[in-house]
Amino acid sequence: MGNSKNNTSLIYGLFLAFLVWVPLPMGSNRAWAWSLAEVWVFALLAWWLVLYLRGTVVVPPALKKARFVIALYCGWLLLVVVQIVPLPISVVEVVSPAVLAVADRAGDVQRESILLSLDVYATQAFLLKSLMYLSVFLLSLLLLNTRERIRQALTVLVLVGLFQAVLGAMMVFTGYEHGFFFEKDSYRGVATGTFVNRNHLAGHLEMVLAAGIGLLLADTGGGMAISWRQRLRNLTQWLLSPKMRLRIYLAVMVIGLVLTHSRMGNTAFFSSLLIASLIWLLLTKKSPRGPAVFLLVSLFVIDIYIVGAWFGIDKVVERLEKTSVDSETRDEVVQYGIEYFKDFPYLGSGGGTFYSVFPAYRGEHVAGFYDQAHNDYLQMAVETGGAGLFLLGSMVVLSFGAAFWSIYRRQHSLYRGLGFAGVMGILSLMIHSSVDFNLQIPANAVYFMILLAFSWLAIGMPRRSE
């Protein structure tokens, strides 16, 4: 059979390189960037499948554990495929009569079949990106098949987030505001990293901070000190250890997050940290919790009250206080979006079609052009219907449950740390997604799929070593 780890070492290295690359070109939110990312990931997955057909690699247990959520996602992909396949008029009349109304205005009702998508090219691009996200999920489960690789992947995510935070902070402090080789023409004076929108850097940092805190918690095991001398020795060792370096990295990323001045980004991060910490403390009663309690308390005390005070958390609070229904139009977009959804309740208007369909529903009070709904739940609902929202929502809920269960059941600290990363990261982005569109940005959608995969790695890795 051969050594599966050695046989996939090059694929694994290229996968880590992909994780480093994908946030750099404006979050891969340009056609050339996401096309390159698609080719990259599809080639890696095809390479692994060739090795599997040759019998040199095997399917790891974590992938088998996640088979049901993979089936849910494949069901969602099938729904998107149906949107760009010609269907009989009689079928469309039942599942999406609004499509017939649009076809009637266009003079296409005499045709025997019709497409559900109102923008077939946008839906085709949407399908390819969605296939890329599934491939990332599968590659995470296939390649992160040892503790060493899991730690390396977590470390890579932390270092990527550290780079984004440092770059964003340097642009704010120096006034030299260039993103990915281009001078910024918006969001000047706030951290954006190599992303265009500060909220998307905030979403990125929320996820990598969750991964970093999970990695730090994975290394807080060990017995409780029984004397002040032993406690002092343990503290000294901790201050001189790589864990202290990681703790500094986390503080720098919090600075970067605060400097985005993203209202919901900061709210989502600190809320998810609080909730995930409470879950961790409630579910890990049988293991030594002193170091973990110290770490989690320090995250709040140092990062909120000290780091936040120095680097402008007050400006975030000020933006929150000034937010009102009158000054925001995103709530009105949701209201009009609900009317949009009522016309396409079952299968949606087609993946990626929001930008072209929403103008027909937008009221006069909504100024500007909205190419995204600024609400991932609403956008998935209108583009893929209630069926699509249910399939994707079930996948996320089951993955969150897997992360939750791993904190309670796994004995090894690394797998519990993965579970924490899954719980916190999923919670944070789900909170943020209620007012933003991080999941429409390829880089952030990729990282979110990795967080989902962490949840299944946490419960799917073999128990023999525990």
Q: How far apart are CA 206 and CA 432, in angstroms?
A: 9
Q: Are residues 421 and 214 in contact, defined by beta-carbon separation less than 8 angstroms?
A: yes
Q: 248: which residues sit within 8 A by CB, 6+ positions away?
A: none
Question: Which amino acid would we find at residue 413?
Answer: S
Give the residue-averaged pLDDT of 336-359. Answer: 93
Please state the separation of Cα 319 from the chain's center in Å. Answer: 25
Give the residue-averaged pLDDT of 84-103. Answer: 84
Q: How far apart are CA 215 and CA 155, in angstroms?
A: 8
Q: What is the pLDDT of residue 293?
A: 67
Question: Looking at the predicted structure, is the pLDDT value of residue 405 above 60?
Answer: yes
Indicate whether this model's pTM tops 0.75. yes
Cα dihedral 334, 335, 337, 338, rounded to 10, equals 120
Q: What is the pLDDT of residue 112?
A: 73
**pLDDT tens for each residue of 299-336:** 766 666 655 565 555 555 555 555 544 445 567 788 88
Q: What is the pLDDT of residue 30?
A: 94
**pLDDT tens for each residue of 192-245:** 999 999 999 999 999 999 999 999 888 775 444 445 666 566 555 655 567 788
15 falls in which pLDDT band (50, 70, 90)? very high
**pLDDT tens for each residue of 255-275:** 899 899 888 898 899 899 989
Kindly tell me the burial class for residue 207, based on how many C-beta atoms sit within 10 Å of its own C-beta (0-12, 13-18, 19 or more).
Answer: buried
